[in-house]
Every structure is written in C-alpha cells, then in structure tokens.
Structure 1
Amino acid sequence: MQAATELREIYITPAGAVYQCDRKNRLMVDFAGTLSVLKIDTFLRLKHAIDKIDLQAMVTSTDRSSDVEIISVLGTDKVYVLTMPELHAFKELLAGARFVLELNSMLHECLNAELA
C-alpha cells in the first residue's frame, strides 16, 4: 500500500485517469481497464499519435475498417485497439493530463524565478 501514497493524481475523466510517480519518474495511464506505465517521452509520443487521428474522417467514412484504430508507440509494448468513442475519450484524457503537466511546470518555473 505504500506505493499508492507515491502516486499523484494528474487528471481524471469518467473514462480513465493519469497518475504521476515521482519516485520512478513515470506516468501511469489507467484507461479501458488497463494500466500503462510510461516514461514522459513515451507519454508524449502516445499523445501525438492519438492527436494525429482524424475522428471526423472516421465518422464520415463508409469503410468498416475505419471503425477501429490500432495505436502502438515506441517505448511501450502496449497496443491500443480503440473504437471511435474510446479514441475521443482517450484524446480528452491525454490532453487534460498534458495541460496539467505543462501548468505545473510553468508554476514551478515562476516560483523558482521569484525565489532566486
């Protein structure tokens, strides 16, 4: 149970959550019933891969193969197989987490600048 106290909640939606482990310098993405432990750069590559998916094109496509997207990024052995609604929820989760991480970074920079 000690590990649970080392995790900081970054962002939560009804579909999932992102936590940060400062001890191991990792992000933990809890989505679609699985937990992925990612380095920061892997998280950013995952977010970039998700952001590149055109949800509008998936909605308007008549091709049944466009109902599902398969996402795999360098740095993890996890493969995401997501439907369009899941992609939308995952995109929202990752965007919110990235925003909070950037906000925290800017706050630390401001605080350190004032203390110097």
Structure 2
Amino acid sequence: GHIDPLTAAEAARALGIKVYTIGAGRVGNFFSDDENRLDEATLQQIANITGALYFRAEDRSGLARVYDEINALERSDIEIQVFTRYEELMGWFVLPGLLLLLLEFGLRQTVLRVLP
C-alpha cells in the first residue's frame, strides 16, 4: 500500500528511528516535472519529525560528504560474529598410511626378507 511520508515519519519517531533525509540533484533541471520534482519541504519535515537532519547534495562528491557527515553523527558499534568452518582431513591420510604399512609388512616377509 501507499503510506504518506509524514505518517511514516511519525511511525519511525514512535519506534525511536531517526530518518536523515537527503535532497539529491540540482534544482531547475531541464527535464523536471511536478511528479519528479524535489520536495525539500517534505524532506525537512521528515527529518524534523524524527529528530534528524536534512542534507542537500547536488553531485556525487556532495553526496559522499553527506554520507560522511551522517556516519560521523550516527556512529555505533556492531558486534560481529566470525564463524570458521573446519573440515576433517584425517581420513585422507590414515587409509593410505595403513595401506603403505601393510605393503611394507608384506614386502618385508617376502621380497625384502633379510636372512640372518
């Protein structure tokens, strides 16, 4: 369904979620229409409702600066669990080792027999 952005901002605030909004692109593009126009007022309202900030970025470097600033504002530690998968390789060595041991025993009793 369709939820009004301000209603979604109220829900985010109720859950304690900050929504940092970013207005991306240049104002006054040649191919702009009313449907795709940047609505800075709504973006600012969303940020205000959730206790966050509104940022403006006109190009890629500006967007990178905005991301860096948001990252500096909302720094949190995340616990990472590392899983290591071990594969048992003993079977690859035990069976050939036993076969070589049996071969050695058999050869010692026959072909390689040393007379006293």
With the shorter chain as reference, the TM-score category is: under 0.3
TM-score of the superposed pair, with normalisation by structure 2:
0.26
Bigger strand share: 1
**Structure ID, larger Rg:** 2
